[in-house]
Amino acid sequence: MAGSSSTSRLVRIDPYLWRIPRSYRADMRVDAEIFISEEMLKDIENDLSLEQCVNVATLPGILKASIAMPDIHQGYGFPIGGVAAMDLEKGVVSPGGVGFDINCGVRLLRSDLEEEKVRPHLERLVINLARVIPSGAGKEGPLMLSLEELDQVLGQGLRWALKRGYALLEDLEHCEAGGFLPGAAPEKVSDHAKKRGLAQLGTLGSGNHFVEIQCVEKIYDEKIAGKFSLFEGQVVIMIHSGSRGLGHQVGTDFIGLMGPVMAREGIVLPDRQLACAPIHSSEGKAYLAAMKAACNFAWCNRQLLAFRTREVFEEVLGAKLPLVYDVAHNIAKIERHRIEGQEREVLVHRKGATRAFPPNHPDIPADYRESGQPVLIPGDMGRNSYILAGLPGAMERSFGSVCHGAGRLLSRTKARERQNFYEVEAFLKSRGVIARAASRSGITEEAPDAYKDVNEVVQVVEGAGLAKRIARLRPLGVVKG
């Protein structure tokens, strides 16, 4: 299963779309389609990401194609950057198609301050953020929930945060799904998962999670940027985190449960990590209900991180930080899409992919409806991040989805070998970026050159007509997990 075998079967459809036809392997039910440039294809020649995209094409009930975004890289079961939509009657739900970090996602807060006003206070802001935001392994959060209250978080999402004074009503309006998925069932979340989650609400986690102070470096579309309240030189804050140990355990529990279900249903798959259950089976329904609860937990987690960030900015600069938007990039959702000319409900898995609904879609908040949904794409901590707006092309070509970030290029071990902490710190300093992390390895393995260039990734997304660039952001200060 070398990566190169599937690379040679790629057919170029246009400069930004490549296809591995269904005929490539007998067990494929649909084509595999990869939104990528010729240049970027080289980055994935030697890993299993294309093979994983082909494997996803074998899942029962998959519609149109197994799709991958330009930030594609090797994951477990699904590639990271994968999108798969399933028929609700004949299709399956795969916990691996959501990932262990359920509702990992990004939110963007905006200030009304320009970089020059913030720069003199930057170090203090970063130090204070690092102090109030628990990160890294084994760190407990500022809240110790009771089991009863945790069930409210799981069942109500941001509605709980609103009730408890951690969120404003506008926060809910500017969050994908309003920060609350109905049908979440706390009783489908195991005791193990709840125990992992009890002390972790409001914690950043580790790996690539961060709170980043950024500056709007360039505006591409003044009109839409104005609708998103963004302007050149403005300081904004991006938060990247997910459902922490609670979500990881929900994923672990249900992947473990799916083995016997597949045996019962006669489902044979090329990779055990793709484990799945029919959407209408009791196990499929239980997973979706538990996944929704973990999603609600993740939204409350990002909300608490935002709450602490707001406190720090209020204290240091007297600044208010309204929410621009919050999007999930590890999730499965029932949405309406056009299949063979007919609009109907399907289950869309997004594993390292972001929803990008076009203008006038009913699920976009009223004040953004004309513009298209804001899409938040974090890059690495030395280069850029982007704000995009969804386009009709995403509905036509990728089930309303785009990329989720830059995509990893170097393994964490390789990144650590390549540069030491002081070299990465010096590079960041030369770019005017102040970074703090729970551990030194947290900085070295997240070094900018461990990632693909997000500028190229976003160029593909725009070239393919999935979303358009609205603003480019540049990092100023980073708190890493």
Partner 1 sequence: MGSFEILEHPADIGFSFQGETLEEAFVQAGRALLFLQGGEEALRSLSSNERVSIEVEGNDLLEVLYDWLSEILFFFDSEQLLLGEFHFEKLDEHGAKASVGGQKFDQTKFETPYYVKAITYHEMKLEKGEGGWHGRVFVDI
The residue from 24, 100, 166, 386 that contacts partner 1 (CB under 8 A) is: 100
Residue whose CB is less far from partner 1, 110 or 452: 452
Pairwise CA distance, residues 286 & 279, whole Å: 9
Q: Does 74 bind partner 1 (CB under 8 A)?
A: yes
Q: Is 273 in the site for partner 1 (CB under 8 A)?
A: yes
58 binds partner 1 (CB under 8 A): no
C-alpha span between 301 and 154 (Å, rounded): 11
Residue with tokens 């900015």: 313
273 within 8 A of 255, measured Cβ to Cβ: yes
Amino acid at site 3: G
Per-residue contact flags (x/-) with partner 1 for residues 196 to 215, judged by CB under 8 A = x-x------xxx--------
CB of 51 to partner 1, least distance (A): 11
Nearest partner of 289 among 171, 200, 357, 190, judged by Cα: 190
Residue from 134, 141, 155, 245 binding partner 1 (CB under 8 A): 245
Residue 271 binds partner 1, judged by CB under 8 A: yes
Q: Does 251 bind partner 1 (CB under 8 A)?
A: yes
Rounded to whole angstroms, how far apart are CA atoms 477 and 424? 14
Residue 116 vs residues 119, 215, 220: alpha-carbon distances, Å:
5, 10, 22
Residue 259 binds partner 1, judged by CB under 8 A? yes
**Minimum distance between the CB of residue 218 and partner 1, rounded to whole angstroms?**
29
**Residue 119 corresponds to which amino acid?**
R
Supply the minimum distance, in Å, between the C-beta of residue 115 and partner 1.
32
Enumerate residues 128-147 that contact partner 1 by CB under 8 A: 136-138
Residue 135 phi, psi (nearest 5) = -145, 165
Out of 29, 121, 124, 195, the only residue in the binding site for partner 1 (CB under 8 A) is 195
Exactly one of 73, 227, 468, 469 binds partner 1 (CB under 8 A); that residue is 73
Q: Which amino acid is at 448?
A: P
Residues 6+ apart with CB under 8 A from 423: none
The Cα–Cα gap between 314 and 316 comes to: 6
Per CB under 8 A, 404 contacts partner 1: no
- Cβ at position 33, least distance to partner 1 in Å: 21
- Print burial letters for 232-269: b (CB count within 10 Å at least 16), e (below 16): eebbbbbbbbbbbbbbbbbbbbbbeebeebbeebebeb
Q: In the complex, what is the shortest distance from the CB of residue 209 to partner 1, in angstroms, rounded to a whole number?
A: 10
Q: Which residues, in sequence order, are CB contacts of 408 under 8 Å at separation 6+?
A: 73, 80, 450, 451, 452
Which of 382, 481 has the CB closer to partner 1?
A: 481
Rounded CA separation 365/388 (Å): 15
How many Å apart are CA 98 and CA 298, to the nearest integer?
A: 13
Cβ closest to partner 1, residue 450 vs residue 467: 450
With CB under 8 A as the contact rule, the residue among 174, 248, 349, 350 that binds partner 1 is 248
Other residues' Cβ atoms within 10 Å of the Cβ of residue 83: 29
Residue 192 interacts with partner 1 (CB under 8 A): yes or no: yes
- Site membership for partner 1, residue 414 (CB under 8 A): yes
Least distance in angstroms from the C-beta of 313 to partner 1: 28
CA 297/CA 397 separation, integer angstroms: 31
* Residues near 438 by beta carbon (within 8 Å), at least 6 away in sequence: 135, 136, 137, 139, 206, 480, 481
Using CB under 8 A, pick the residue from 94, 128, 249, 303 that binds partner 1.
249
The residue among 205 and 477 lying less far from partner 1, judged by its C-beta, is 205
Per CB under 8 A, the segment of 228-236, 269-277, 361-369, 392-400 that binds partner 1 is 269-277
Q: Which of 73, 240, 349, 404 is catalytic?
A: 404
Q: Is 404 a catalytic residue?
A: yes
Residue 350 binding partner 1, by CB under 8 A = no
Residues designated as active site? 404
In the complex, which residues of this chain contact partner 1 (CB under 8 A)? 47, 49, 73-77, 80, 99-101, 136-138, 192, 195-196, 198, 205-207, 245, 248-249, 251-252, 255-256, 259-260, 263, 271-273, 275, 408, 411-414, 439, 441, 481
